[in-house]
Structure 1
Amino acid sequence: MGHSAMTEALWAFGRGSGIAAVAVLTVAVVAGIAARSGRAITLPRTAIADLHRGASLIACTLVGIHVLSLLADPDAQLRLIDIVVPFAANYRPMWMGLGTVAVDLFIAVVVSALLRHRLGPRTFRLIHWAAYGLWPVALIHALGTGTDAARPWLLTVAGACILAVAAAVTWRTASNFTEFGRIQRRSAR
């Protein structure tokens, strides 16, 4: 494989792993919302929690593959500092910076999950809420950075991700939701 073919392969692998990471991260967010719902659903709560953890680990792996393959691609112009310091990139600094913010938030969420028992439930939950910021930032990064942004297939994937998270949030925040119903009944007294 020549330099050009190798560079194209690295770019495609980097792009594909990034898009797959966003899709799997969407599954993790939706499963996380469902796991905390307190509502009766067809799967046991432990199965949903396992799905959330598994999807999170797969998304983490895909983000690692995404970053490493683009670091290896000379045409991507990605430097180590670009992975840590937002908006420092030479290539599309705004969009790359959003990717860096997403990676930084992802690291915080993963580390908090690994240290959950040492942090305590309140601190863990506070840090874990960063996932609600991480997901849209990662999605915007995917739509703004890549060469596929206007392609129908990517817009379809992005649309499906948006619909899934919007449906989960709507379901979770509905007035007849178990936890919110208890809060509303208490405050009405």
Structure 2
Amino acid sequence: MHLTSSPVDWYAARAGGVVAYVLLSANVTIGLLMTGQKSMKHWPRFALEDVHRFGGILVGTFLVLHITAVAIDAYLPFSLTSLVVPLVASYRPIWTALGIVAAELLLALAFTNHYRNVQISYRFWRRAHFVNFVVWGAATLHGLGSGTDRSAAWFVLIDAVAVGTVCALITWRVLRRWRPSASLLRIAPVAAALIAVVTIGALARGPLRFQPKEWNAASFSDTLQGRILVNNGVTRGIVSMAGNGTGSQRVLVRADLLVSPQRLVSTEFQMEYLPSGALCTGTVTQVHGSSFRATCHLPDGAARYIDAHWPQSVDGTVTSGVLTAHA
């Protein structure tokens, strides 16, 4: 369900996912503080419970924003099925599947919270609540493995703080049950946090490092698909070709020709880069039966030289064509 190619949608998808993860990490932290019976001077328990409950609602809200923005974006290779069924997506399937599993488990937890003490016993709800750790862990790995910002310093910092805090609190909570020495209870959580931070940094800057494609690539070769429309008038006619290029650089292209029986009157060419939305406008310079060449300029004045050709068809459908561009 691809409804828009606006870069705003792409930014919304990224922002929604990051904010949802930050809120989820904060909620897990609050939950660990409450279950660990950790007292806070300026925050009574009932206030923490209210914040915890409202935080869960906010997590769900930003998660819906993230998923919706991904679903409607024209650049991202996700169908509705690939957003619901794990391992169906073609883009980094394992890491994407972790995000899907986290979202679906979070939805299941929302139902247990809603029906707590009504149709679900407190004992069952309490045990189900431990699934929050699975949700948080899957969300962490999803961001590290599939997020396009995963190697950015600010994102690594967010992940490191979140993972370090949660790991320290989990270590502190587990150790309290064993009644260790006071020194161990202080040192072990700090050590766990440091190990977690180093691990996150190593993964984000090492094997999971994001290597982005060139933004608004100057040179590329794509597969071209589209359609040719012909409207003939009494003295002049319009021939239009609209299509999209898929490959190393997603683009939308349109070439319009105003023709008369004797000559080519005027031409216009447009190419829109995805997902940036940058528009390259110009003219068609050469036309043949199943090919054309065009020249266009981006808003900053940079020129692009386009060559498109495709197999001839009877119904005007363009399939298995080739669209190349160079500066």
The TM-score, its normalising length taken from structure 2, stands at 0.51
Larger radius of gyration: 2
Amino acid at match of 1:91: Y
For residues 107 and 79 of structure 1, the distance between their equivalents in structure 2, rounded to whole angstroms, comes to 20
Q: Identity rate of aligned residues, in percent?
A: 29
Q: Which has the higher contact order (CA 8 A, sep 6+)?
A: 1
The answer on 1:81 being equivalent to 2:81 is yes
Q: CA deviation at 1:27?
A: 0.7
| Secondary structure at the counterpart of residue 62 of structure 1 | helix
| Secondary structure at the counterpart of residue 75 of structure 2 | helix
The answer to whether the 8 A contact 1:99-1:138 is kept is: yes
**Higher relative helix content:** 1
Q: Which residue of 2 aligns with 1:50?
A: 50
For residues 170 and 46 of structure 1, the distance between their equivalents in structure 2, rounded to whole angstroms, comes to 25
| Secondary structure at the counterpart of residue 75 of structure 1 | coil
Q: Which residue of 2 aligns with 1:172?
A: 173
The answer to whether the 8 A contact 1:108-1:127 is kept is: no
Q: Which residue of 2 aligns with 1:34?
A: 33
Q: CA deviation at 1:87?
A: 1.0
* Runs (5+) with no aligned partner, structure 2: 180-327
Aligned CA distance change for structure 1 residues 33 and 80 (closer, same or farther; 3 Å): same
Aligned CA distance change for structure 1 residues 169 and 124 (closer, same or farther; 3 Å): same
* Runs (5+) with no aligned partner, structure 1: 182-189
Tell me how large the CA RMSD over aligned residues is: 1.6
The answer to whether the 8 A contact 2:99-2:139 is kept is: yes
Q: Which residue of 2 aligns with 1:152?
A: 153
Q: Which residue of 2 aligns with 1:104?
A: 104
For residues 34 and 49 of structure 2, the distance between their equivalents in structure 1, rounded to whole angstroms, comes to 5
The answer to whether the 8 A contact 2:71-2:83 is kept is: no
For residues 49 and 35 of structure 1, the distance between their equivalents in structure 2, rounded to whole angstroms, comes to 8
Cα distance per residue 1:124-176 (max 9 Å; x no partner): 1122111010101101101111211111111001001111212221332233x
For residues 140 and 87 of structure 2, the distance between their equivalents in structure 1, rounded to whole angstroms, comes to 17
**Higher relative strand content:** 2
Amino acid at match of 1:48: L
For residues 104 and 30 of structure 1, the distance between their equivalents in structure 2, rounded to whole angstroms, comes to 21
| Secondary structure at the counterpart of residue 38 of structure 2 | coil
The answer to whether the 8 A contact 1:82-1:100 is kept is: no
Q: Which residue of 2 aligns with 1:123?
A: 124
**Corresponding pairs, count:** 174
Amino acid at match of 1:57: I
Amino acid at match of 2:39: A
